Amino acid sequence: MDPMTLGVLSASIIVGLAGAALAGLRAWNGWLELKKMELTQIAGDRGLPPASGRIEMADLRERVRKLEAIAAGIDL
């Protein structure tokens, strides 16, 4: 092979590898953004528990208050 053919071939290989690397980096960046959005959504869902959970927590607090009153000797 003559030097001109080798130069063109090597340049095209380098350009192809650079394009593949760029596409891979963009895909990686997109995947990271997707994971960030998923984590943000999960963190946002933790705000308020469902109504049944809040009612259950209120019931447990009431039970604890009654048990503390019994332990302190106060009759409710």
| pLDDT of res. 73 | 85
Contact 66, 76 (CB under 8 A): yes
Residue corresponding to tokens 């690397």: 21
Residue corresponding to tokens 């001109």: 4
pTM, entire model? 0.51
| pLDDT of res. 53 | 75
| pLDDT of res. 76 | 57
**At residue 72, what are phi and psi to the nearest 5 degrees?**
-85, -10
| pLDDT of res. 28 | 96
| pLDDT of res. 75 | 63
Q: What is the identity of the amino acid at 16? A: G
